[in-house]
Amino acid sequence: MSLTKQTGGFIPRDRDWQPEALTPPYKTSIKRSPQAPLLSFPSTLSEETSPVFGHDLIGELDNDLILNYAKNGEAAIGPRIIVHGRVLDEMGRGVPGALLEFWQANAGGRYRHKKESYLAALDPNFGGCGRTITAQDGSYEFRTIQPGPYPWPNGMNDWRPAHIHFSVFGHGFAQRLITQMYFEGDPHIKLCPIIGVLKTQEAVDALTAPLDMNRTVPMDSRAFKFDIVLRGRRQTYFENRKEGL
Amino acid sequence: MVQKLNEYLRESPSQTAGPYVHIGCTPNATGINAYGGDLGSVMKTGPVQGEEITVKGIVYDGTGTPLRDAMIEIWQPDSAGLFASANETRGAADPNFTGWGRSSGDMETGEFTFETVKPGAVPFPDGRMQAPHITVWIVARGINIGLQTRIYFDDEPDANATDPILTRIEHQNRIPTLLAKSAGSGEYRFDIHLQGPSETIFFDI
């Protein structure tokens, strides 16, 4: 199925499902949230096109956060995990060639950033960023260490659950998305004001990755599965035919 | 009861980019040397067609304070109105122009800068021409879902006057929030206000 046959406009974003801009328990949103209504329009070529990132962009260790900042044959410290899944559109079709960029704290909950002040130690062998491009069926995987929870200034004692940030490019700029992946069973999920901006338990579940024993590497790494869904485009019956049918 | 529309999935919920978005998206700007340079830092990969321009601006919060932890991305056609995209079917875009830029802004002042070209016009779905514009996407700590807007140009009054979107805006007194202001010699200013009396018009497209 060729992408250029997906000629319809993007299906409107479901603003009842997505978080509101103003979510007072997450205090920073109060002065950073627009107050006027958004101006709604059907997508145009400006939103239906998107930059193209070729597989040749990706370096050998870009999807291996255990090794991509490590020196002298060492490795990042922490629980070794594989994160894998598929990027799909709202019709359930895999999105090939999607650029995923991810970033995270180290196993102690510390980010490698000038403005970060948490007292947990930096890991000299962990940078905290990686990227990959999805395969023909929309699948991806990368290796990292499980990040730690950390405190952040919001309430007097707010802690972020362990999480990995994702930035996603599909095939249209209208699909541009940033989100976060959480880990099954984390007790901080229920307490977090940033997760609290999600309106339903279903939305929280959509960002919570289950342990996937079938993809673990025995005696090496556990695995978590995280699928990502991007906006889909309207189609007519004929545009929807599978190649060869 | 009716049959369920159960073949559809829901878009992944958005979450804030947080204060450390630059680790993932512009690592070199934070001192993490990776990838041989930050994606989107260069839009012109060789001699380009059309008018070369510079767009600078600052994103302000509702108190008038600059955001120093935002990430701004722009996407636009080349000077002939063609996109460097796999979904572009109307012709081949300028091979030396990517059309896509990404900036973390200056870590102290928050000012972002894009070295780009003046975009050509692109049709609306009904065939009418839109005024030249650049698509903008803004994420930051405190922004739960990326904000979309557009940069139009204050030195394109005729095209702006017939643009299918600009002409449909009810509050015409807000249109200046979408206009990059020409300072001459290819320099434009486009500040973004998240909130307040001069709040930028944000789009749901």
CA of A80 to nearest chain B CA: how many angstroms apart?
20
Percentage above 70 pLDDT, chain A: 93
Residue A243 has pLDDT above 50, yes or no: no
What confidence category does residue A234 fall into, taking pLDDT thresholds of 50, 70 and 90?
confident
Q: What is the pLDDT of residues A18-46, one digit of tens each?
A: 999 999 999 999 999 999 999 999 999 99
Residues of B in contact with A50 (CB under 8 A): 75, 85-87, 100
d(CA B186, CA B135): 19
d(CA A185, CA A208): 9
Q: Is the pLDDT higher at B5 or at B185?
A: B185
Among partner residues A19, A111, A232, which is closest to B145 by beta-carbon distance?
Answer: A19
Residue-range domains of chain A with CATH:
50-232 (2.60.130.10)
* Model pLDDT, residue A245: 36
Give me the catalytic one of A26, A69, A150, A182. A150
Specify whether the CB–CB gap between B163 and B130 falls below 8 A: yes
Q: What is the pLDDT of residues A90-119, one digit of tens each?
A: 999 999 999 999 999 999 999 999 888 899
The answer to whether A111 is a known catalytic residue is yes
**DSSP string for B70-88:** -EEEEE---TTS--SSTT-
* Model pLDDT, residue A217: 97
What confidence category does residue B154 fall into, taking pLDDT thresholds of 50, 70 and 90?
very high
Residue A3 has pLDDT above 60, yes or no: no
Q: Say whether B199 and A36 touch across the interface (CB within 8 A).
A: yes
Mean local confidence (pLDDT), A208-214 = 98
CB atoms within 10 A of CB A8: 17
What confidence category does residue B81 fall into, taking pLDDT thresholds of 50, 70 and 90?
very high
What pairs with residue B54 in β-bridges? B115, B187
Mean local confidence (pLDDT), A39-62 = 94
Specify whether the CB–CB gap between B111 and B105 falls below 8 A: yes
Q: What is the mean pLDDT of chain B?
A: 96
Task: Tell me which amino acid residue B168 is.
Answer: R
* Model pLDDT, residue A115: 85
Q: What region, left, alpha or beta, does residue A223 occupy, with left being phi > 0 and alpha being psi -120 to 50 degrees?
A: beta
Among partner residues B32, B87, B148, which is closest to A49 by beta-carbon distance?
Answer: B87
* Model pLDDT, residue A240: 46
Helix (H) or strand (E) holding A58: none
Q: Say whether B10 and A229 touch across the interface (CB within 8 A).
A: yes
Supply B88's token pair.
Answer: 């572009």
Specify whether the CB–CB gap between A95 and A230 falls below 8 A: yes
Mean local confidence (pLDDT), A143-169 = 97
Residues of B in contact with A91 (CB under 8 A): 7-9
Question: Which letter does DSSP use for residue A88 in this model?
Answer: E
pTM of structure:
0.95
Q: Say whether A39 and B204 touch across the interface (CB within 8 A).
A: yes
Supply A230's token pair.
Answer: 């991007």
CA of A109 to nearest chain B CA: how many angstroms apart?
13
Give me the catalytic one of A160, A171, A231, A233. A160
The answer to whether A171 is a known catalytic residue is no
Task: Tell me which amino acid residue A64 is.
Answer: D
Mean local confidence (pLDDT), B85-92 = 93
**DSSP string for chain B:** -----TTPPPPPPP----TTHHHHH-GGGGT---TTS-TTS-SBSS--SS-EEEEEE-EE-TTSPBPSS-EEEEE---TTS--SSTT--S-PPPTTB--EEEE---TTT--EEEEEEPPPP-B-TTSPBPPP-EEEEEE-TT-SS-EEEEEEETT-HHHHHT-TTGGG-S-GGGGGGGEEEE-STTEEE--EESSSTTPPP-EE-
Least Cα distance to A138 among A93, A181, A90 occurs for: A93
Give Rg (Cα) of chain B.
18
Q: What is the pLDDT of residues B27-66, one digit of tens each?
A: 999 999 999 999 999 999 999 999 999 999 999 999 999 9
Residue A237 has pLDDT above 60, yes or no: no
Mutation for B interface: A3, A115, A173, most B CBs within 10 A:
A173
CATH superfamily of B48-193: Aromatic compound dioxygenase (2.60.130.10)
Residues of B in contact with A63 (CB under 8 A): none
What confidence category does residue A236 fall into, taking pLDDT thresholds of 50, 70 and 90?
low
Among partner residues B14, B100, B195, which is closest to A179 by beta-carbon distance?
Answer: B14
* Model pLDDT, residue B4: 80
Judged by a CB distance cut-off of 8 A, whether residue B131 touches chain A is no
Instruction: Nearest chain A residue to B166 by CA: give it.
Output: A39
What ranges do the domains of chain B cover? Answer: 48-193
Give Rg (Cα) of chain A.
19
Q: What is the mean pLDDT of chain A?
A: 93
Q: Say whether A40 and B205 touch across the interface (CB within 8 A).
A: yes
Residues of A in contact with B15 (CB under 8 A): 19, 165, 178-180, 194-195, 197-198, 207
b/e for B148-158, b at 16 or more Cβ within 10 A? bbbbbbbebee
Mean local confidence (pLDDT), B9-35 = 96
What pairs with residue B182 in β-bridges? B188
The answer to whether A84 is a known catalytic residue is no
Q: Say whether A44 and B137 touch across the interface (CB within 8 A).
A: no
| ipTM confidence | 0.96
Q: What is the pLDDT of residues B64-75, one digit of tens each?
A: 999 999 999 999
